[in-house]
Amino acid sequence: MSTNQTETPRQRLDRLRAEVAQRTQAASAELPVRPADTFHCLVTGVTISLGNGFMSTAHITTAGENIIVTQNMIAASYDNFGQSWMAIIDDDDAQVQRWGEVRFRIGPAPADARTWNTVGDVEWTRARDAAKAEAWAMPTAEARAAALAEVNARFGPIASTANYWISEDPSVAAAAAQQKALDEGGIRFSQHVEAKEAGAKR
């Protein structure tokens, strides 16, 4: 009698799971990452499976985040053709060829890693606003100027109204800003009074 005929459903399930685990372990030996390795994400919104058998959960990436590799994640990375997306996690060119962009890199994210996809999106705005706030909090005009220049270099030019502090004398810049506002706004209220004789009807 064959093995399939004598196996109970539970035994067959255990055997198939063991076979899958063995194949996954053999295949993962060829991947550039191992369990406990770290890789970081360059793109927000990519869905990857964290793995957990039939209860596998999905994770949506955020640019700049670090992810620790697990054996379950490796097992879940294989498609129906036995190919793992993790096989190209260290190959920028292969990622561009497959996805049209570089999505992952091995190792922890660098300190200045981007946390947004495109200029102007929500994450870009949040990161730029945070960087601007830090720049404005600098204790001296010179430090603020240098910090704002770094923000400009990373995110693009800051609105001109944010550059007044670059002046050596902030009071001069403030006065110039006030005068500019008056020039642009014009005179908002005026009253003309003529001198008249006492008792004359106005």
DSSP string, 105-160: EESPPPTT----SSTTSHHHHHHHHHHHHHHHT-SSHHHHHHHHHHHHHHH-PPPG
Confidence (pLDDT) at 152: 78
149: confidence class by pLDDT, cuts 50, 70, 90: confident
Tokens of 44: 């927000």
Which helix (H) or strand (E) segment holds residue 67: the answer is strand 66-68
Chain centroid, CA 10 distance in Å: 45
Confidence (pLDDT) at 79: 86
Confidence (pLDDT) at 127: 74
Helical axes 122-136 vs 141-155, angle rounded to 10°: 170
Is the pTM of the predicted complex or chain greater than 0.85? Answer: no
Say if residues 111 and 89 touch (Cβ distance below 8 Å): no
Q: What are the structural domain ranges in the chain?
A: 3-106, 122-185
Summarize the chain as % helix, strand, coil (round to 5): 50, 10, 45
